[in-house]
Amino acid sequence: MTARWILDANAFKQNVSHVIGDQPVMAVMKNNAYHYGLDFAIHAFLEQGINTFSTTVLREAVRIRALAPDAIVFLMNPSTEFNILHEHDIQMTLPSTEFYLTYKHELAGLTVHLEYENLLHRSGFHTFDEMLDVIETNNLLPLEDQMNITGIWTHFGYADEFEVSDYDKEKESWLKGLAMIRHHHDFKKIHAQNSASFVRDGLFPGHSHARLGIILYGSRPYSSLPESITHQALTVSANVIQIRLLDADQSAGYSFAFTAVHETRLAVVDIGYGDGILRTRSKHECIINNKRYPIRALMMSHMFVEVDDDVKAGDEVIIYSNDIRIDEMTFKSVGANSEQLSALNHHSLLKEII
């Protein structure tokens, strides 16, 4: 018996279709498609009509190009591997005036999207005026020396925050600056919205794409949304390998990990943090035979679950599924959706796409 990572391909694709409706979407493929696997995810997205992809790593962008020869591939981090960008027709962020001035010659002929820093302060031009200066400088160059400024974008840092007004501020600053700069340059690609912003506001007027990640992969970006907004097609399951009986006051696991207050049936389950289950996940429940039971301890390759007489060796234990979702645990402070997805160990879990 082995613990499993099982992806229902049809459910995944149906969810993509449900999430995007008829809206134009750039799918975020970073970190191996949120760890769902680039090959699988690219094919699923293409099948659902998405043909614009972004990632942060050039190596991934090159793989996306191989999987989707006709797609637009956008690199969200700057790269100085200009030959590779050219060779694989990869569009790239232009993150600052400094980057432009340093690599002006190498950027000739490349397609870039200007990045606005906004409140996230991770990357991007500080102001729209700085971007305008670069556009004007580029326009003065002979055509063959110019870069092709096709896009403009930003990334919101507060779209899933409701207690503070920072999302409204970053949104206003972006939309105001965008309205100004569009008088001076015709951008074909305009994209700003992550899952939270897209769900809150719908696609902003004049934007070519919403740039979506987590909602395409089956998790809600914030807790006040109903589960029906997205479907988790991934199931992580394991097996009861034994039932142990503990008397009151007996402990089990390393360093008294669990101490029984009364006579207790403990199911020993063949999954642990070595398989990528976050340690904080052990504060919550799992599902056995359609019923929730509390996890009592999590070790590297095992966990203990307190069970009743209905549970026996060989029963399947569901750690995550659409009935006990990663986003539910995220909202119970287990860790971010993408953190749990990324941690899952595809070398130790049996990986199946059904």
Ligand X SMILES: Cc1ncc(COP(=O)(O)O)c(C=O)c1O
Q: Half-sphere exposure (CA, 13 Å, Cβ side) for 302? A: 13
CA distance 325 to 215: 13
Residue 1 assigned to a binding site = no
Query: For residue 238, which of 302, 317, 347, 351 has the smallest C-alpha distance?
Result: 317
Tell me how far, at minimum, the Cβ of 16 lies from ligand X, in Å: 13
Tell me how far, at minimum, the Cβ of 250 lies from ligand X, in Å: 45
| Nearest residue (CB) to ligand X, 264 versus 337 | 337
Task: Determine the distance from the C-alpha atom of residue 225 to the mean position of all C-alpha atoms in its chain, rounded to a whole number.
Answer: 17
CB 261 within 8 A of CB 339: no
Binding site for ligand X (CB under 6 A): 28, 76, 155, 194-196, 211-215, 221
Tell me how far, at minimum, the Cβ of 189 lies from ligand X, in Å: 13
The residue sitting closest to ligand X, measured at its beta carbon, is 213
| Nearest residue (CB) to ligand X, 134 versus 215 | 215
CA distance 148 to 223: 40
Catalytic residue among 30, 34, 36, 320: 30
Active site residue 254: yes
Tell me how far, at minimum, the Cβ of 160 lies from ligand X, in Å: 7
Tell me how far, at minimum, the Cβ of 272 lies from ligand X, in Å: 27
| Nearest residue (CB) to ligand X, 216 versus 271 | 216
Q: Give the pair of three-digit tokens for residue 199.
A: 């769900």
Catalytic residue among 36, 171, 188, 254: 254
112-123 in b/e form (b: 16+ CB < 10 A) is: bbbbbbbbeeeb
| Nearest residue (CB) to ligand X, 197 versus 239 | 197
CA distance 6 to 170: 38
Residue 300 assigned to a binding site = yes
Q: Which pairs with CB-CB distance under 8 Å and at least 24 residues apart come from 89-95?
A: 89/65, 90/58, 90/61, 90/62, 90/65, 91/150, 91/151, 91/189, 93/123, 93/124, 93/153, 94/134, 94/147, 94/149, 95/123, 95/124, 95/125
> Positive or negative, the Cα torsion across 210, 151, 98, 176?
negative
> Would you please indicate which residues are annotated as catalytic (active-site) residues?
30, 254
- Extract the annotated binding site: 122, 300
Binding site per annotation, positions for substrate: 122, 300
